[in-house]
Amino acid sequence: MSSRKRVLVVGGTGYLGQHLLQGFSEIQGTPFEYDLVFTYHSNLPQPLLDALPHLLPFHVDLKTGQGFDGISRSFGQPDVVVNCAALSVPRVCEMDPAAALSVNVPSSLVDWLSNFKEGNTLLIHLSTDQVYEGVKSFYKEEDETVPVNVYGKSKVAAEQFVSKKCLNFAILRSSIIFGPQTISPVPKSLPIQ
């Protein structure tokens, strides 16, 4: 049995996903041996492929689950999945709540993972501090979730879904994510880059 771990980044062409892929690529060759692949939905940016040519991309539609079978055939069961994919622009979520739920609640991803006989894949699911109502400066994990927008509501639904359906998971609630520009610029504007 190989000691190499298989890591899948879902949403690898987004802001956080690209930084995660780049970070993983920079630690390649260290004692942590792994194979890394990623998913994309609408476009596969050439600058990302040029900068990280050793990574294998997979086209996946999170609404339908189409594309996960290709990962199974070519890559097998991942040991770790980091779910960075989201419909994360609040005004877009407000305009289309059904789309926000269908993308942000990772039902097709979790269904795909449940098909593997060994159910030991670690799912790291990215959530948001928008699950809170925003009246306090700092929130604790135990604080009640009271989202005030569709995006926050969809992320609460996602957290509940992952908690109910997965045995091996971690949910990370981020606040504002900002930093340097990605390898391939993302289409949505960020407050600080």
Question: Dihedral of the CA atoms 62, 94, 21, 128 (nearest 10)?
Answer: -110
Q: Write the DSSP string, the chain.
A: ---PEEEEEETTTSHHHHHHHHHHHHTTTSSS-EEEEEEESS---HHHHHH-TTSEEEE--TTT-TTHHHHHHHT-S-SEEEE------HHHHHH-HHHHHHHHS-HHHHHHHHTSSS--PEEEEEEEGGGS-S-SS---TTSPP---SHHHHHHHHHHHHHHHH-SSEEEEEE-----SPPSS--SS--S--
> In this structure, is the dihedral angle defined by the CA atoms of residues 138, 140, 144 and 146, taken in order, positive or negative?
positive
Active site residues: 151
Overall residue count recorded for the chain in this entry: 193
